[in-house]
Amino acid sequence: MMLFNKDRDRPWKFTLATILFLVVAVYIKAQNAYVDFLDSSIVDVIQKNQPGWKTLLYRGVTSLAEPKLDIIWVLILAFLLWGFKFKIPALWCLATLAGGDVIASLVKSLVKRARPSAHLAIDDGYSFPSGHVFGTFLLIAMIWVILMPMIMAAWKAWLLRIVLIVWMALVMISRVYLNAHFPTDTIGAVLLAYLWLQVAEGLYIRLAPMMQHWPLLKKSEI
C-alpha cells in the first residue's frame, strides 16, 4: 500500500489553494487597504494583553519553530524513516522541505513586503510569507501523513492531531504577537505550504514506484 493514495480532489484542492494564495499575495503586493484593515484588526486582538508569561511563551514557541530548526527536525524524521526501511518517504520529506524553502524564498523576493515597523532586529528579510509558519506546516504535514497512520490506538492519534493543530496555531499567533509578521503573512504561508504539499504528494505518487526499482531503494516501503 502506498503512503499517499490517488486523490481525485487533489487538482481542486491545489487550484483553490493557489487562487486564494494569489489573491492574498496580489492584494499585499498592491498594498490594498482591505489587507491593512484585516491585519490591524487581528493584531489588535492578539496584542491586546501582553503579560510577561505570554511574551515568554511566544518567544519559546517561535524559537522552536525556527526555519533552521525545521531542517534539523526533518533530518531526524528522515533518519528514523530510513532506518525503518521507509527510504523513499525519507527522501520525500527532505525534498519537500528543500523545494518548499526555495519556493517560499522566491515568493518573498517577488512580493518584497516589509516587516512590521516594530519588528525585532533578529527578524530581517522580507515579511511575506512567514518562513516559521511555512516550515512548521510542512513538518506537521509530514508527521500527519506518514506517522499518524502508524498509530494503532485511535485516542493516541486524535491526541496527536490536537497537539499538532494547537502547535500550528501557536506558531502563527507568536509571529504576529512578536511583531515579526503581519497576520496575512501567516495565512499566506499556510496557503503556499498547502498547495506545495499537494504538488509534492502528487509527485510522490508518480515517482515512488519508479524509485523502488533503484538499487539503493529496492527494499524501501512506499
Predicted local distance difference test score (pLDDT) of residue 158? 93
User: Regarding predicted confidence, which is higher, 20 or 119?
Assistant: 20
Using alpha carbons only, give the angle 107, 112, 117 rounded to the nearest 5 degrees: 130
pTM, entire model:
0.92
Residue ranges per structural domain of the chain: 10-217
Give me the chain's average pLDDT, please.
91
- On the 0-12 / 13-18 / 19+ scale of CB atoms within 10 A, 40 is exposed
Given a cut of 90, is residue 208 above it in pLDDT?
no
- What mean pLDDT comes out for the span 184-202? 96
**What band does 216 get if pLDDT is binned at 50, 70 and 90?**
confident
Range name among 48-52, 77-81, 113-117 with the lowest pLDDT average? 48-52
Eight-state DSSP code of residue 116:
P
Predicted local distance difference test score (pLDDT) of residue 134? 97
